[in-house]
A and B are shown apart, each in its own frame.
Chain A
Amino acid sequence: MHRRLGGRMVDFGGWDMPVQYPAGTIEEHLRTRKHAGLFDVSHMGEIDVRGADAIALVNYLTSNDAAKLVDGQAQYSALTTPAGTVIDDLLVYSFAGDHLLLVVNAGTTTKDWEWITSHHRDESVTLKNVSSDYCQLALQGPDALGILQKLTDLPLAEINYYHFVAGSVDGVPSIVSRTGYTGEDGFEVYAAADKAEQLWNKMLDAGNCGSDTGVLPCGLAARNTLRLEAGMALYGHEIDETTTLLEANLGWICKLNKGDFIGRERLAEQKQAGVHKRLVGFEVTERGIARDGQDVVINGERIGKVTSGSPAPYLKKNIGMAYVPTAVATEGRQIQIDVRGKPVSAQIVKTPFYKREK
């Protein structure tokens, strides 16, 4: 399907995924900010959790408080290690008090499944890896609501951010969630895997794909630049099993008073003692583009690492995120990035780099 649209494919964690379509990453990125972009993110993993103690199990495994969810609400959270570091970040969807759906990253689905099942001792909870049952299409951008509304009777405008409803999209039973990974308003639509092509084509048609202001199919490269501008973490970059949630500025999803969960003790200690390193955003202030993995340098000393670095097509700046010692993690602080042997000046700035007008 994506090849037919001229998508350039790469192997992404075993999935054959489009990096970009013929319009190119920059146009895909800008179109999503100004109008709409459509992303096939069916590679994401889904784990179904059912039973009277579903919330108790998820609350023990994750850092945010699943007990706070009302039916039809979704929550950003993380699977944590005893060290307070991150197995994966995820969305927890609450369908009912005894039915949750965990949406996890593609590359970590197997690891997550093994981790979750290894902590599952309560027979009243049923776990099911339903990743291959679902497709997921993300329609993002200011025009997303109007486009999707053409395909459904669901009152989309009434769905609040981080809430979802079940209903029919183009006749296909779907979950329509007002969530996304771009910093824009938009929806993520989950449906049966074999309906991906139908929904994809219908959303492109409904969005006047082909016109200069219509929806554009977008690849993984634009998904990455959009989330980076929006200051969102990407697993394997900003977060992994070596960095804690507090270091990653994700204290807001650490509900230390909700009761026991894996990593709670260590996170509470770290909160008390303070973190030694912290994730910051930076802007390159001279010619050059920082890239993932490059060193952060102050006065010739290597003090940190870039987790994501890229041109930011909407902001027209070169930006990135990096871990640096807490002592220097202040806005306005001048740093340098070692760009393939050449020191390039940068400045620590506040994140998100981009915030949409509401």
Chain B
Amino acid sequence: MANVPEDLHYSKDHEWVRVEGNTAVVGITDYAQNSLGDVVYVEVPKAGDVFAANESFGSVESVKAVSEVFSPVSGEVSGINEALNDEPEKVNQDPYGQGWMIRVEMSNPGEVDSLLTAAEYEDFTKAETE
């Protein structure tokens, strides 16, 4: 069973958001990393890049496939997880911790309210699996 922490917000594209003040920390969920398999490459934007909600901000590649990742919120990238350059497997090992991808200074923090709660996301992934 995939791990879905209570305190995070989730998108239907399988990203998670941790809200820290006006900053959103973004990564992909345990369910997503498990579906992808061994992550071998993560491409993230540069600090300063601006994304709208649901816009693709990078990609995650497993041995077999490439998946785009989408920013659940609008804003400017204020930090990226450079450790993933050398250790992309952190996305598999610790998707909600060391596997985080970007930090976004939100231009519209209200967008977080339209994301899924942990319980909603769990139901959503169950429906997808069936």
Q: Which of A18-26, A191-199, A349-357 interfaces with chain B? A: A18-26
Cβ of B41 under 8 Å from chain A? yes
Give the bracket for the number of chain B residues in contact with chain A: 10 to 19
Say which residue of B37, B38, B61, B85 sits within 8 Å of A289 (CB atoms): B61
**By the criterion of a CB under 8 Å from any partner CB, how many residues of chain A are at the interface?**
19
Known: A291-B66, A310-B63, A311-B63. A221 touches B37 (CB 8 A): yes
Known: A24-B37, A289-B40. A313 touches B63 (CB 8 A): yes
> In angstroms, how far is the closest chain B Cβ from the Cβ of A230?
16
Cβ of A225 under 8 Å from chain B? yes
What residues on A are CB-neighbors of B85 within 8 Å?
287
> In angstroms, how far is the closest chain A Cβ from the Cβ of B3?
16
What residues on A are CB-neighbors of B41 within 8 Å?
287-289, 311
User: Contact between B61 and A24 (Cβ–Cβ < 8 Å)?
Assistant: no
What residues on B are CB-neighbors of A26 within 8 Å?
38, 40, 63
Q: Is the interface of B mostly helix, strand, loop or mixed?
A: strand
Cβ of B126 under 8 Å from chain A? no
User: Contact between B40 and A221 (Cβ–Cβ < 8 Å)?
Assistant: no
What residues on A are CB-neighbors of B37 within 8 Å?
8, 20, 24-25, 221
A275-312 interface mask toward B, CB cutoff 8 Å, 1 = contact, 0 = none?
00000000000011101000000000000000000110
Bound: A175/B78 CA distance, A? 62
Say which residue of B40, B59, B61, B64 sits within 8 Å of A19 (CB atoms): B64
Interface residues in chain B, defined as those with a beta carbon under 8 Å from any beta carbon in chain A: 37-38, 40-41, 59, 61-64, 66, 85
Q: A221-B37, A311-B61, A340-B59 are in contact. List 9 more A-B contacts (CB 8 A).
A: A20-B64, A25-B38, A26-B38, A27-B38, A287-B41, A287-B85, A289-B41, A310-B63, A311-B40
Interface residues in chain A, defined as those with a beta carbon under 8 Å from any beta carbon in chain B: 8, 19-20, 24-27, 29, 221, 224-225, 287-289, 291, 310-311, 313, 340
